[in-house]
Amino acid sequence: MTLGVLFLRDRLDCLLGGVMRWIRKSMKKKEAVSPRQMLRMAERAARKGKSEDALNLYARLVDVYLEQKAGLRAVAAIKSARSILGPGPRIQGMLIKVYSRMGLKGDAKREFNWYMGRIGSIGKDDIFIFSGMDYEEFADFMDIMEIIKTKKGSYVIRQGHPGNDIYIVTEGKFEVIRDSTRVGILEEGDVFGEIGFFHHRLRTASVRSVDKGEVVRLPSAELRGLCNKYPYVEKRLETLYTERLLKKAGEDLMLGHSLSSYPVLHLHVSKGEELTSPCDGTITVVKKGTIEIDYDEEGLSVKRFMGPGSVFRHPKISARVKAASDVEIIQADTTSLGDPKDMP
């Protein structure tokens, strides 16, 4: 083989390698999708019933239009979504925020009032965690809301199942069932699911629709992000969580009422510290963290660990109780009001 042929072959190999690299690079490179194409993709997904995909595409499209300072096109895209998917909270939240960013506060408030008027008798201020919130802040929460329609007898959550999302009753009545016994009724504006939200335990009760109804689901991951942005919402959820823990503790001890009927102390205990009881009638509820109980059982040393939601009476424990982690506890003094069984 002559030098000329070898040289030519090497040049061809080099050229072919360059072409192949260009082809591979071209295949990997994603062509930018134009807003018009994105709108068509969103409309196609919406008409095929792929609501979540459609909403995500519409949200991306709105962001693109806002970056281009094309607010009116963003409004038109959202109204297109509303005409196909209906006026859900996420769509309406997008519209309110776009109007607000365009400086059209009156239009934003009008859209908010229009939507709230469509979802029944309940209003934003009827829901404790949203009370007093302005419509622009509330639009952030509308972005993550999912409306769930229920039939008579259908379960929203089940006792013993995993779950940490928060729910709000927006229509109808729902019964709370623990160990096959109805322990309460939830009505419009009531919030539930906060125990799972705060300590990721299995659901402590089931919630079942009494008749046709509707709830709004707030996914925990997205809600935590908004709680960081609006800390007062997390504080309100924690207030509900504390009330629910005290109510559940009263049910667990068969007192016939919540532990909130008694004077209570909220205490923080560092890991390794012993828990003491101020008096013999003290009941302790673990709010956060884990406690360790060391006691003797028939001559054997036994350890027991109790997490959030656990409850025990101090006079009935002859043991060493300490914090296995940094904990927050609630102690109720049941002696100050006499025998709980004698209370109305």
Q: What are phi and psi of 310, to 5 degrees?
A: -70, 150
Do 166 and 235 reside in the same domain of the chain?
Answer: yes
The reported pLDDT for the residue numbered 156 is 97
The reported pLDDT for the residue numbered 29 is 47
- Whether 137 is covered by a domain: the verdict is no
- How far apart (Å, rounded) are the C-alpha atoms in residues 198 and 248? 15
Do 223 and 311 reside in the same domain of the chain?
Answer: no
Do 185 and 242 reside in the same domain of the chain?
Answer: yes
What is the span of the domain harbouring residue 317? 262-342
How many distinct structural domains can be found in the chain? 2
- How far apart (Å, rounded) are the C-alpha atoms in residues 150 and 264? 38
Q: How far is CA 119 from CA 23, 51, 108, 116, 257, in A?
A: 54, 20, 17, 6, 34
The reported pLDDT for the residue numbered 25 is 56
The reported pLDDT for the residue numbered 11 is 60
What is residue 229's three-state secondary structure? helix
Q: How far is CA 303 from CA 10, 273, 295, in A?
A: 77, 16, 7
Do 218 and 268 reside in the same domain of the chain?
Answer: no
Q: Tell the residue number behind the tokens 């259908």, with chain if given.
A: 154
- Whether 139 is covered by a domain: the verdict is no
Do 247 and 266 reside in the same domain of the chain?
Answer: no
Do 225 and 280 reside in the same domain of the chain?
Answer: no
- Whether 273 is covered by a domain: the verdict is yes
Side-chain-side CA neighbours of 141 within 13 Å: the count stands at 27
The reported pLDDT for the residue numbered 146 is 87
Do 288 and 226 reside in the same domain of the chain?
Answer: no
What CATH number does residue 228 fall under?
2.60.120.10
Does pTM top 0.85 for this prediction? no
Do 290 and 247 reside in the same domain of the chain?
Answer: no
- How far apart (Å, rounded) are the C-alpha atoms in residues 341 and 331? 19
- Inter-residue contact 340 to 286 (CB < 8 Å): no
- Whether 294 is covered by a domain: the verdict is yes
pLDDT tens series, the chain, 344 aa: 554 545 555 665 565 555 455 545 554 444 567 888 888 898 888 888 888 888 889 889 888 888 888 888 888 888 888 888 888 888 888 888 888 888 888 888 888 777 776 655 566 778 888 888 887 788 888 888 888 999 999 999 999 999 999 999 988 999 999 999 998 899 988 999 998 898 877 898 999 999 999 999 999 999 999 999 999 999 999 999 998 888 888 888 777 788 888 888 888 989 988 887 666 678 888 888 888 888 766 667 778 888 888 887 764 556 788 888 998 988 888 776 554 444 33
The reported pLDDT for the residue numbered 199 is 81
